[in-house]
Each structure stands twice: as C-alpha cells, then as structure tokens.
Amino acid sequence: MTLISSPFQSVTPSPSNSGLLSPPLHSDLAPLLASPYEIIPQPCRRSSRIKHKPGYLHDYHCHIATSSSAPAPSSSASGIPYTLSSILSYSHLSPAHKCFSLSVSALIEPTSYTQAIHCKEWCEAMDTEIKALKLNNTWTVVDLLAFKHIIGCKWVYKVKLKSDGTLERYKARLIAKGYNQCEGLDYYDTFSPVAKLTTVRTLLVVAAVKHWHLHQLDVNNAFLHGDLDEEVYMTLPPGFAKKGESKVCRLHKSLYGLKQSSR
C-alpha cells in the first residue's frame, strides 16, 4: 500500500508493522531526518515584503559632490555597508536650495576650543567677540575670592551663510554656564516680557491698512545691552587666561546662557 498526499512525501509501511501506517513526513523535514548524524543545511528564506526608506532619514543629508550629475558613492567603494548617499537624492531640490544644503554639509563647525584654535578664521572670530565684549564693558577682571561662587564659560561656533549658500562669516559666541548658578545667590528673577504672536500680527495688519513702511534690523550682541543687578563671577574665556593666574570676570552685562540674561 502507498500513501499519496501532495505536497507530502510518499511513505510505505514497514514490513514488520504492516498493520500500522507511519505518519507522512513533510518534504522540508525529510532531509533533516534522513540520517541521525548528518544535517543538511537549508537556504535562508528571504522576505518578499516591499522595503521602504525610513522616514527619519528625510531630516538628514550627506556629503556628496556639488555637481548634480556626479554619481553617489557605492557601498563597496566607501567601505560602509549601508551608505546614506545610496538612498538620498537631491534631484527634487531647486538649484539654490541644493547649493545651500551642500554648503551646510561641507563646512564643519568645531565643537570645542581645542579644535577651533587650529583654524585662523575661528581665531579671528573669537578675537572679534572679545573686542565686542570689552567695548560694551561686559566685565571687570578681578582677583579670585574664596567665598564667591564662580561659574564657567565656553565657546560656541557657528558658520553664518547667505541665502544662496555662500559663506557670510564665522561667528564665535561666548556662552556662560548658567546651569551652575545658584538661585538667590547670583540670580533672582528670570521672567522676561516678550511680544505675543497676536500682537505682531495686529501690528502687521495695521501697517498694511495704513500703508506704513516696516523695517527689520538685527542687533549685534543684543544680550550685552542688559545690566546685571546681581554679583555674577565667571572664569576667564578659554584661550584668554594666563597659566597660573587666579583671575575671574565680574559680569556687569548679561551674557548668553545666564539665567537672567533674557530679562
């Protein structure tokens, strides 16, 4: 007697147990049970599901050639198995937007003073910032007192670009580490009144009706125009402190990063 049931393998009963029928073996399991000492490897099953690019990759762009006709580097050429350039395209961008995006990717901003000190442009930007701080009488260099609370500071670097993607200037800004301030000691009130969006829209509507001319301006070092009522002491900026000198800056004007600076 022979059992035939597709897609199962045909099985014949054993001569010693002619009255009993063995259960049919699946065709995928039959090679594995062919020998108790030998396992035949089977190829891995690959999914046929359609793969899509992750949505979060739309927020990133990579370093590619500025020419639109330049091909993206392949995975084998770069040595990276899954390169971002293989799934990212700038073909849908306008020429001006493409130039701006590539300029942002090409210019590297340092993350610390030790990195910026090796570039002449960043050194000049720091010198310009220090001159602006001294011109506005931002601080007075005094001796370090043991019973005074001292906060630190750091440099933050930013490349300013024009609307067409070309370089405008290198900007270095000195930021006070306001998270080290103590409430009631070197800051009290942090509330700052700001203009609501409804007020701005109302002003624009009135200007449009009455045909007023509106002008927009940018104030350099805007926070330096705010006077400090509290005693705030800050370490000297990185790169401008002499080795072994115990001097600190007593702030007279607001700096970016202070708790009360937005006031």
What pLDDT was estimated at residue 96? 75
Q: Where are the beta strands (DSSP E) in the chain?
A: 139-143, 150-151, 153-161, 167-176, 227-235, 247-253
Q: What is the mean pLDDT of residues 179-199?
A: 84
- Which is more confident, 69 or 58? 58
What is the model's pLDDT at position 123? 93
What average pLDDT does the chain have?
Answer: 75
Asked if 144 contacts 247 with a C-beta cutoff of 8 angstroms, the reply is yes
User: Pairing state of beta strands 167-176 and 227-235?
Assistant: unpaired
What per-residue confidence (pLDDT) applies to 179? 87
The pLDDT assigned to 155 comes to: 94
Tell which wins on pLDDT, 111 or 25.
111
> Are the CB atoms for 228 and 254 separated by under 8 Å?
yes
What mean pLDDT is predicted for residues 52-80?
55
pLDDT, position 227: 80
Please report the pLDDT score of residue 68 as a whole number. Answer: 43
- The whole-number pLDDT of residue 3 equals 46
Q: How many CB atoms lie within 10 A of CB 37?
A: 4
